[in-house]
Amino acid sequence: MAKKKVLYITHEMSPFLELTEISKITRQLPQAIQEQGYEIRVLMPRFGCINERRNRLHEVIRLSGMNIVINDNDNPLIIKVASIQGAKMQVYFLDNEEYFQRKHVFTDDKEKFFDDNDERAIFFSKGAIETVKKLGWTPDIVHCHGWMSSLVPAYLKTTYKNDPMFKNTKVAYSVYENSFEGTLDPTFSTKAVMNQMTADDLTVYAPATNSALHMGAVGFADAVIKGDEKIDSKVEEFIAKSGKPVMNYTNFDDTEAFAQFYEEMANEELVSA
């Protein structure tokens, strides 16, 4: 049998960027899953604070050169790659000079949330899917981590639902504690609409809060994974009402539980765990 393929999409990963517990999970879980016989890929943004020389990033010419359209503007997508020493694991970085070449990640030096964080999330989600298409690598499971990846489930279940590469792909979304307060730009959900979508598809995302992004992703995902012991009560309630299969919070060292969850997702035998 061919190896099952798992794609991890995250905005942070150790040792490249460490903001929250997500960075530890997305570093250790993919390696452990790979060691259990799965084929994995990891995608994350190339934020300006990630040192290219120290981490030995280099551009992948055959993957670069695409444009991601946001608000009718073409935004060049550059793909870079680095290897994690001793893990036989590659990480692909999505780069764009306007969106990611900054000293800070989500806030400026006065801790003000960047005004264009909404467009950065849209760029990353669209770019991640297009990068996988260009790789020609069909994932059985896409596991999204963090609010920056929250549009991926929506895009895969609407615009890309009949794409031969993704029509059988199952999507898991990990819900974590809210990591930002306030809202993204109020036009976020309007800007995020793609082909074969309507504004109604993204209604849940419209408030543009961290909780709204989580709930939007949960609504489109095939399964939900609780990444923290405590998550926002509104999100908890939304998950319960969604009827989606749920993997309750478990120590991420328990990689066999994740592998079993992936296997059940891929085989459509999923029940809440």
pLDDT, tens only, 172-193: 999 999 988 889 999 999 999 9
User: Does 210 fall in a domain?
Assistant: yes
The CA distance from 76 to 59, in Å, is 13
What pLDDT band is residue 78 in, cutting at 50, 70 and 90?
Answer: very high
Domain count of the fold of the chain = 1
Q: Average pLDDT of 70-95?
A: 92
Question: Reduced to 3 DSSP states, what percent helix, strand and coil does the chain have, rounded to the nearest 5?
Answer: 35, 20, 45
Is the per-residue pLDDT at 271 higher than 60? no
User: Does 273 fall in a domain?
Assistant: no
Q: Give the range of the structural domain holding residue 227, as residue numbers without chain letter.
A: 5-266
Mean pLDDT of the chain: 92
Amino acid at site 176: Y
The CA distance from 233 to 239, in Å, is 10
Report pTM. 0.95
Say how many CA atoms lie within 13 Å of 106 toward its Cβ: 18
User: Does 271 fall in a domain?
Assistant: no
The CA distance from 123 to 118, in Å, is 9
Q: Average pLDDT of 246-256?
A: 84
User: Does 199 fall in a domain?
Assistant: yes
The CA distance from 82 to 90, in Å, is 6
On whether the CB atoms of residues 155 and 130 are closer than 8 A, the answer is no
- The pLDDT score that the predictor gives to residue 269 is 62
What pLDDT band is residue 273 in, cutting at 50, 70 and 90?
Answer: very low
In the structure encoding, which two tokens stand for residue 67, read together? Answer: 């444009």
User: Does 146 fall in a domain?
Assistant: yes
User: Does 234 fall in a domain?
Assistant: yes
In the structure encoding, which two tokens stand for residue 251, read together? Answer: 């120590």
- Any alpha helices (H) in 88-142, and if so which ranges? 97-100, 117-135
Q: Average pLDDT of 246-255?
A: 84
User: Does 25 fall in a domain?
Assistant: yes
In degrees and rounded to multiples of 5, residue 194 shows phi and psi of -115, 180
Q: Which residues contact 51 (CB under 8 A, 6 or more apart)?
A: none
User: Does 139 fall in a domain?
Assistant: yes
CATH at residue 259: 3.40.50.2000
The CA distance from 119 to 217, in Å, is 17
Residue of 17, 25, 24, 27 lying closest to 52 (CA atoms): 17
